[in-house]
A and B are shown apart, each in its own frame.
Chain A
Amino acid sequence: QLQLVQSGAEVRKPGASVKVSCQASRYGFDSYDINWVRQATGQGLEWMGWINPNSGDGGSAPNFQGRVTMTWDTSTLTAYMQLNSLRYEDTAVYYCARVDYHYYYMDVWGKGTPVTVSS
């Protein structure tokens, strides 16, 4: 079973950037994208965007456009999500997930990376 291993917790100041990684245990992305989802403490899930490991194509939710970059490193099977101009309200757990791009369901999830924005 494919696993997604995420990087450790991060602390950043407002205005800074953070880059979270998500490494796959093996290749398994025929017909799949990598999506990023975040969850503030005590809140619901918020979809951030996607990247296709085969083409490198991607996109982000309107709330994050211009502030988030999603990339894929084929040599290490690692997805990255960089969020810029951090605000206090970006404090959350950030998850990566594998998504079937025909029927848009997330079948494999990483364990999450806590990001804290604090001065």
Chain B
Amino acid sequence: ETGVTQTPRHLVMGMTNKKSLKCEQHLGHNAMYWYKQSAKKPLELMFVYNFKEQTENNSVPSRFSPECPNSSHLFLHLHTLQPEDSALYLCASRPGTPNSPLHFGNGTRLTVT
């Protein structure tokens, strides 16, 4: 039990589909993150939300649309994705205190066909 729950665990979608990834944290943290991890590549930071406000957008294409309705929930809405978007998408949360580490969810393994 990581305290950060992601659904679905696996997702296969066509390039014309629209889907959403969901993340929920039960740790009382203030900040939530989306990272992308492609095969043989480092974790890439996509978005950061702090107290529901987006504080980082790491030049992510508009086909990825984040939503943070409250400090416990984070979504990543996907539309017209490309096969190169296939990756492990990891959600993480972090307390607001300095020097605090990230806590990751199990990830959603996305395959775009």
Q: Are A and B interaction partners?
A: no
A contact residues vs B (CB 8 Å cutoff): none
